[in-house]
Amino acid sequence: MKIDTVTTTPFPGQKPGTSGLRKKVSVFQQPHYLENFVQALFDTLQGTRGKTLVIGGDGRYYNREAIQTLIKMAAAKGFGTVLVGRDGLLSTPAVSCIIRKYQAYGGIILSASHNQGGPDGDFGIKYNIANGGPAPEKVTGLIYQNTQEISRYLIADIPDTPLEDIGEFQAGGLTVKVIDPVEDYAQLMESLFDFDLIADMLGEGVFTMCFDAMNAVTGPYAHAILEDRLGAMPGTVINGTPLPDFGGGHPDPNLTYAKELVDIMNGVNAPDFGAASDGDGDRNMILGKHFFVTPSDSLAILAANAHHIPGYRDGLAGVARSMPTSQAVDRVAARLGIECYETPTGWKFFGNLLDAGMITLCGEESFGNGSNHVREKDGLWAVLFWLNLIAARHQSVEHITREHWQAYGRNFYSRHDYEGMDGAIAQEIMDDLRGKITSLTGKSLGRYRVAIGDDFSYTDPVDHSRSEGQGLRLVFDDGARIIFRLSGTGSDSATLRFYMEKYESDPARHNQDPQVALADMIKIANELSGILTRTGRGGPTVIT
């Protein structure tokens, strides 16, 4: 096998964020750009000779071309086997599942998650380590350092791998196995959930559902599991064919971008259950008839009802949530007598807790829930959890949620996203807030008195590593919170996120619209940041 050494020079800005490196497709298409980053990654990895690497992506534009480059560079690195999904497709949770099942060295995921695709859209690359989870900061830090010093990359001179059919191919010393992207993941789901119980409910013809795959990677998984294995009616899965541009849509499962599903679930003849997943299959949105479940409430409900699910009947070791996620799950943990950990945003922060056996369930407010079955958030897993729960309790989504509020109280919660912002303006707003946040401690804002004003930091209870600057917090005397955070999942423009939360114990007040219940806090957030004046906008792009 001939290995070419290609001379190159560093590109600026190849610093992986919370979910890897994300840039516009046109940036990745520059000569040497992808190769530089992959070589910088491979230069951090030791002892790879003869080992197995998993490769897959969400099918977005440039996915296939990038996979061919990755295979050739993996051969040059000395990997013995590459497992790649048919047509280059593997959902993010499926990559984690396969890494763990086959004890692979690691895996590379080609995705920009919920960001738009197509020639003018976004592309991304992320490395997952042997536990199946995203690379920790110490690894991504080394990758970034290598990108700044790179002078050459290595690539094998071998033919492209046919990805259309399952099969095994030899390329020099490398074995490339094109695998069914769904089978291993489906087997794992069947080991966790009562498929017979769910199938009985779906097969009765009384319970109806709609799953929107948003023309992204979850389509083949949903067709195979929901329709083929569980017997949901044909047509249950909509937008189920992965497309390079996601059909022109924005594959983010929220009330704004999953409008087709939202309209169906709010229609006259709405199904009993609705759900959507995102570009790479790790996020979920849950809906009932004319009813939306916030991701924070969803995590709390799953934790409170885990005893109904075969894979979790032995109890929960603990739970964890990201700092901006509402404290609803904290109340469940307290009643169960288990620990609830508060981490920074980014699934990699859950990895140590999961590996140490300290938690079983975890989740983020950004439509992501998961458990110890893999080391990524998992959209379809959450959908199956809800279906199993509905089948076991014989209650609707709304009934289950309202009963939960009755038992635990309601955490009114909302996130306001200001997307597509000029990066300099977004950073300026955050810098100004950071400069005054601590001085607000002890002061009154409207009817609220500030108990804590800080920039959240986290010390990992397993490896004692420390992460600073993870989000600006205003915590009031009554436990209500406002959080300001600059998102790390964009490619070039910036997204500012404001989070508002307060607790309500009185069931008579649980039916309020969250935007009404939180109106005074929303006003405080807007005035403190000056965002409407400084951007000229009339309001947020997305409200959840």
Are 336 and 265 found together in one domain? yes
| pLDDT for residue 343 | 96
Block residue for tokens 């423009």: 493
Q: β-strand 361-364 against 368-371: which pairing, if any? A: antiparallel
Q: Quote the number of domains for the chain.
A: 3
Going by C-beta distance under 8 Å and a sequence separation of 6 or more, which residues neighbour residue 431?
Answer: none
Domain match, 206 and 163 both:
no
**66-87 average pLDDT score:** 98
Strand, helix or coil for residue 334: helix
Residues carrying an active site annotation: 113
Proportion of the chain above pLDDT 70, given as a percent: 99
Do both 446 and 456 map to the same domain?
yes
pLDDT surpassing 80 at residue 488:
no
Task: Flag whether pLDDT at 237 surpasses 80.
Answer: yes
- The reply to whether 418 and 381 lie within a common domain is no
Same structural domain, 139 and 203: no
- Residue 26 makes CB contacts below 8 A (sequence gap 6+) with 119, 120
Backbone angles phi, psi at 360, to 5 degrees: -115, -40
CA torsion angle for 495, 286, 544, 260 (degrees, to 10)? 80
Chain segment 371-410, per-residue pLDDT in tens: 999 999 999 999 999 999 999 999 999 999 999 999 999 9
Q: Do 208 and 293 lie in a common domain?
A: yes
Over residues 248-286, the pLDDT tens digits come to 999 999 999 999 999 999 999 999 999 999 999 999 999
Q: What is the CATH number of the domain that holds 443?
A: 3.30.310.50
- Is there a single domain that holds both residue 149 and residue 210? no
The C-alpha angle 25, 423, 441, rounded to 5 degrees, equals 140
201 with 90, same domain: the answer is no
**What pLDDT is recorded for position 456?**
96
Give the Cα-Cα-Cα angle 362, 289, 399 (nearest 5 degrees): 65
- Helical axes 397-408 vs 379-393, angle rounded to 10°: 90
- Do 366 and 282 reside in the same domain of the chain? yes
Domain C-terminal end among 127, 159, 179: 179
Query: Which pLDDT does position 74 carry in this prediction?
Result: 98
- For residue range 300-350, list pLDDT tens digits in order: 999 999 999 999 999 999 999 999 999 999 999 999 999 999 999 988 899
pLDDT of 427 over the 70 cut = yes
Neighbours of 182 (CB within 10 A): 23
> What is the distance between the terminal CA atoms of the chain, rounded to a whole angstrom?
53
Q: pLDDT averaged over the chain?
A: 95
The residues that bridge with 183 in the sheet, in sequence order, are none
Q: What is the pLDDT of residue 206?
A: 87
Confidence at residue 346, expressed as pLDDT on a 0 to 100 scale: 84
- Looking at the chain, the whole-number percentage of residues with pLDDT higher than 90 is 91
Residue 237 and residue 337 in one domain: yes
| Model confidence pLDDT, tens digit, residues 2-49 | 999 999 999 999 999 877 999 999 999 999 999 999 999 999 999 999
**Do residues 421 and 512 share a domain?**
yes
Secondary structure letter of residue 20 according to DSSP? B
Whichever domain contains 135, its CATH number is 3.40.120.10
Contacts of 242 (CB under 8 A, 6+ apart): 58, 59, 87, 89, 213, 215, 216, 217, 219, 220
Q: Is the pLDDT of residue 489 over 70?
A: no
pLDDT tens readout for residues 193-213:
999 999 999 987 789 999 999
pLDDT score recorded for residue 18: 72
> How many CB atoms within 10 Å of residue 5?
10
Domain span holding position 235? 185-408
At residue 440, the 3 state secondary structure works out as helix
Report the predicted TM-score, pTM, of the whole model to 2 decimal places: 0.94
Q: 333 and 268 in one domain?
A: yes
**In contact, 418 and 495? CB cutoff 8 Å:** yes
H-run or E-run covering 21: strand 21-24
Last residue of a domain, one of 149, 179, 209: 179
- Final residue belonging to a domain, choices 361, 382, 408: 408
Say what the pLDDT of residue 492 is: 58
pLDDT digits (tens, 9 = 90+) for 493-525: 789 999 999 999 999 999 999 999 999 999 999
CA-to-CA separations, 113 to 79, 277, 322, 377, 532, in angstroms, rounded: 27, 10, 18, 12, 28
